[in-house]
Structure 1
Amino acid sequence: MIFVTVGTHEQPFNRLIKKIDELKKNGIITEEVIIQTGFSTYEPVYCRWEKLISYEQMKKNVEDARIVITHGGPASFIMPLQIGKTPIVVPRQCQYNEHVNDHQMEFARNVANRMGTIIPVEDINDLENIIKKYGEIVDKMDHGIYSNNEKFCKELKEIVEEIFEEDR
């Protein structure tokens, strides 16, 4: 199942919802799709949808989903990360009247670059290919999650090697 959420921002995010519905219609997406459409005005024809859902249902949908696609609001993609999912993040863009500015694009870029835990999609036309190759993309990602034990051992090894260098 693919779960899509556009959050609760009052401006519509029809661009994402229409694209997902189109991919489902054209058979690019063959599995079930559930969309939380928020205040969008487009009503999907080929996907299950609800305007707003409870937190409990949101969490269940994220847990059950193979792929989670969110807008660029941090609250929407933090939950999938906490559950162990790698979300596809499609930031709302000012040029399409989806938000008042492009802070979602900037934030998604920063999270992707610094943490490596999300798959940002700024060009909606890239979404089809990313969905098709989702598993491959996730497998190749550096998820930005590092073991403190691994870090400690690496630093300790460097200190020990440095001490032995000094003794020579």
Structure 2
Amino acid sequence: MSATVVVSAGTYHLPFNRLVDWMEPWVQAHPDVRVVMQHGPGRPLPGAENHAILSHAELLALCAEATAVVLQGGAGGVMDMRQLGRIPIVVPRVPVDDEVVDDHQLIFSEQVSRLGLIHRATTRDELVALLNAALAGDLPTRTAAGAPTSGVSAVGDLLRELPRPASRSLRARRFASSARSLVRRGH
């Protein structure tokens, strides 16, 4: 097999069968592509290597080596891919058919798409076009791992300007220290 696509519906307690429905015809049309699916409580994807849940380490290892990564629109998965230097294709869950309780994934994915951190697919045709472009090498799926965004840089500048009074509580000092550490690492 020449290519691998990792698809993750996440570990959210509600199924994301629309993602499986959208992927199924593409998988059938590309039998030479290895597709690994973490489907959570949803249904397995025919033609894929299916896992209800993979360990975090296993999922990250697969994503690091994959030709393309397809995710639900949760912030955690997107940030994991950013740390790996991946630009995932993201299909946001919508508050229809019990996929998710509100439209936060639509809003989040729109914003991070504008920043160039993801490729967003809100229709099956968009998903198929993005997958085909990724496999053809016409869609960037990798970037510098952990490169800071302008928002992270701005927060770092603000944190560096904060006074460091001795009178701050231990909790406040620990928080500031942790935040400065994250900014230095480019999260």
Same fold (TM over 0.5): yes
Question: 1:24 aligned to 20, 24, 27, which one?
Answer: 27
Matched position secondary structure for 2:139: helix
Q: Show structure 2 runs of 5+ residues with no match.
A: 151-187
Q: Which structure has the larger Rg over C-alpha atoms? A: 1
Look up the match of 2:41: 39
- Correspondences of 1:8-157 after superposition (within 5 Å): 8-27=11-30, 30-40=32-42, 42-113=43-114, 115-134=115-134, 135-138=137-140
Deviation at 1:146, TM superposition (A): 7.5
Q: What is the aligned-residue identity percentage?
A: 25
Aligned residue pair count = 141
Give the alignment's TM-score, normalised by structure 1: 0.76
CA offsets, 1:39-97, max 9 Å, x none?
11x22221111001111101111111110110000111211111111100100011232
Look up the match of 2:7: 4
Matched position secondary structure for 2:96: helix
CA contact (8 A) 1:37 1:50 kept: yes
Give the alignment's TM-score, normalised by structure 2: 0.69
CA offsets, 1:21-49, max 9 Å, x none?
2211123x631000000111x22221111
Matched position secondary structure for 1:32: strand
Matched position secondary structure for 1:23: helix
Deviation at 1:8, TM superposition (A): 1.1
Look up the match of 1:159: none
After superposition, the CA RMSD in angstroms is 2.2
